Amino acid sequence: MNKYILLTLCILTSFAASAEEKVLFDFENYDLGARIEMRDFYSETTASVAEVVQDPANPNNKVLHVSNKSWNTLIELSLGQMTAEEATSSYQYLAFDLYRPAQDGAYKMFVARIDADTIYADAGFYDQGATGQWVGKSYRMKSITSQGNTLYMGYQSIDAEFYIDNVRLVSVDYGYNYFDPEQTLRHHAEKCGKNIGAAVPVWRINVNDDNQDMTQTIYSNFNMVVAENEMKIDALQPNRGEFTFYNGDCLVNLAERHNMSVRGHTLVWHSQVPSWISSDGKKNDRGYSRAELLRIMKDHITTVVTHYKGRVHEWDVVNECLDDNQTTIRTNPAGYDLRPSVWYTGIGEEFIDSAFVYAHQADPEAKLYINEYGVEFQGKAKTQAYYNLVRRLKNSGIPIDGVGLQCHFTVGEIDSTKLDTNIKRYASLNLNCIVTELDISIPNLNAPNAYEQQAAAYRTIANICMNYDHCTSLLVWGITDNMSWRGGDPLLFNSQLRAKPAFFAIRDVLEHRAQFLGVEPNMPIDEQQSTHVDVYNLYGQLVVKNLHRSHIRQLPAGIYIIDRKKVMIR
Ligand code: XIL
């Protein structure tokens, strides 16, 4: 197929040294009407047919058409000189193009095997994407050590009729179309009612141009954004009383064009403070009295939050106010030590309380967060200090809605149990606890499986976040590795904007969870839906009749059938 010749050429030119993609079958060398073997794994004979035909969408192209499908029947193709071991160790993905006719059935599980070994079984079998058009597919293969070379692939279901073309082995996932709405992180996150977000380096990309690959990747994959630097104090108020909202506004406009939420980051912080407030963010060395510094803080918060009222949906009101050491945590009755910032030094601890009150006054609808690093794992002094501070704020009636865990991690340091128990306890304070700045650096990029281990770490975090209703959002701190503020390739996309294993790990988690939950985002009550539902158990017995939709989440933990969908309540 022409477009793939072109793609292959591009790949050859840009990656001449490495084999990034190998086209196994494009069916152009076959005669029209030629048959390919079909093999039924549980029966001697099969009525299924795989025949080379004209592409239903392009008469100049030949493709394989599979019809009259019986269960467990797969297309049989030879890998030629290549063994299973070579195929699965040199390449990571099996990619192909799929065309499903409009009347195609719903239940589909794609499987691929080499001889007796399964290299992929698709868990996302309810939804194989659009019908009546070609859809790019790619599957991550399990690596196999065998000398076998017969590749079996296809849909393991009875009602599948499909066309397939351009079967390829791919070492970087070129088969994945980042902009196909059904393959994005956002698509799956929204099905789970979660926010998946990213920090956007607004100054280095053109967020005003929806056609740029980078911009498109952002709004396709994320439903929440935060400015990496452009809404910090120095960016918004470089001189006293002089506000510069342009870059922040561009991001908010992007979000509004694509129906994304915006986190505002950050109103009060000791870092990236303009020099008219403090020479270093720590010392109160510009001669301000306590009252005047409080006035400066209030003016900043009020002006910024008012400017973005209704457009920025939540704010990091206070960022990184805790001391790293927490030396007096056991003796100090408050149970936390604050960092010596200009705000703490000049105003006193109440700067935190006041900041939340000012923000709330400026936009009572905005959700207000505190945000911190190094407070993710239960058992650490700083983690406990954070909890103590947050509990103190909540108990004093301060308008705080949630707690941000920055989560700047390194592969190898993540303790899932400690993270899980820490996130969990904020639910009992009636607060959200979200992941605000996730990035996971790889300590040694040359280590075997470095990127797979990173993906596993991302998977762990995503799974924990998915387990809790009060963990509503997971944001990564940047888009591509080369633009990250940290080394060690910590993000989801590489420098060429290709999705990394970490991307697929997060997408897997979201996809599986969405499929299992089978719920619409936040179980909305809209005009189309009845406000009340009948709830059945898996035996088909009625559990509750006429339950108000808003009470679904209060059902005892278990799996129910609601609106003909499987719903898991935790
Ligand atoms: C970082 C940005 O990513 C960098 O570009 C900038 O030079 C420094 O700040 N915690 C935070 C973020 O709350 O604002 C920081 O962002 C990373 C650590």
The 10s digit of each residue's pLDDT in 1-57 is 444 444 443 333 333 223 467 899 999 999 999 999 999 888 878 889 999 999 998
User: Residue 125: what pLDDT?
Assistant: 52
Check if the beta carbon of residue 111 is closer than 8 Å to that of residue 120.
yes
Residues constituting the chain: 570
Kindly report the backbone phi and psi dihedral angles of residue 76, in degrees, each rounded to the nearest multiple of 5, phi listed first.
-110, 120
Strand partners, 163: 65, 99
Residues 324-365 pLDDT 10s = 999 887 788 889 999 999 999 999 999 999 999 999 999 999
Distance 252 CA to ligand 1 centre (A): 19
Q: Assign 3-class secondary structure to 278-347.
A: CCCCCCCCCCCCHHHHHHHHHHHHHHHHHHCCCCCCEEEEEECCECCCCCCCCCCCCCCCECCCHHHHHH
Residue type, 166: N
Confirm if 95 and 159 have CB atoms less than 8 A apart.
no
485 lines ligand 1 (CB under 6 A): yes
Atom number in ligand 1 closest to CA 436: 13
Active-site residue 365, yes or no?
Answer: no
Is 71:165 a contact under the CB 8 Å cutoff?
no
* 376 a catalytic residue: no
Q: 229 in ligand 1 pocket by Cβ < 6 Å? A: yes
Helices and strands, number each (H, E), in the chain: 13, 25
Q: Give the single-character DSSP code of 557.
A: S
Judge if the beta carbon of residue 319 lies within 6 A of ligand 1.
Answer: yes
Ligand 1, atom 13: nearest CA belongs to which residue?
319
* Cβ proximity of 142 and 120 under 8 Å: yes
Q: What share of the chain is helix, strand, coil (3-state, %, to 5)?
A: 30, 25, 45
- Site to probe by mutation for ligand 1, drawn from 203, 205, 228 as the one with most ligand atoms within 8 Å of Cβ, is 228
Determine contact, residues 247/258, Cβ cutoff 8 Å: no
Per-residue pLDDT of the chain (570 residues), as tens digits, is 444 444 443 333 333 223 467 899 999 999 999 999 999 888 878 889 999 999 998 999 999 999 988 888 999 999 999 999 999 888 878 888 889 888 776 667 788 999 988 888 765 555 566 778 887 777 778 888 889 999 999 887 777 889 999 998 887 554 456 667 778 999 999 988 899 999 999 999 999 998 888 998 999 999 999 999 999 999 999 999 999 999 999 999 999 999 999 999 999 999 999 999 999 999 999 999 999 999 999 999 999 999 999 999 999 999 999 999 998 877 888 899 999 999 999 999 999 999 999 999 999 999 999 999 999 999 999 999 999 999 999 999 999 999 999 999 999 999 999 999 999 999 999 999 999 999 999 999 888 788 889 999 999 999 999 989 999 999 999 999 999 999 999 999 988 788 888 998 899 899 888 776 644 444 443 445 677 888 887 777 788 888 888 788 777 777 788 887 778 776
Find, among 390, 363, 360, the residue nearest to 375 by Cα.
390
pLDDT score at 556: 77
Instruction: Print burial letters for 382-407: b (CB count within 10 Å at least 16), e (below 16).
Output: bbbbbbbbbbbbbeeebbbbbbbbbb
Please work out whether the CB of residue 326 comes within 6 Å of at least one atom of ligand 1.
no
Q: Alpha helices, DSSP H only, in 348-415?
A: 350-362, 381-395
State in Å: Cα 476 to ligand 1 middle. Answer: 12
Nearest CA to ligand 1 atom 5: 485
Q: Exposed, middle or buried: residue 447 (CB in 10 Å: 0-12, 13-18, 19+)?
A: exposed
Q: Is 228 in the pocket of ligand 1 (CB under 6 A)?
A: yes
Alpha-carbon separation of residue 65 from 27, 56, 103 (angstroms): 11, 10, 15
pLDDT, position 139: 79
> Pick from 150, 102, 93: which is nearest to 122 by CA?
93
Distance CA 542, CA 549 (A): 16
Q: Which tokens hold the place of 289?
A: 């009295």
Q: How many A from CA of 229 to the centre of ligand 1?
A: 7
- The tokens for 214 are 């980078």
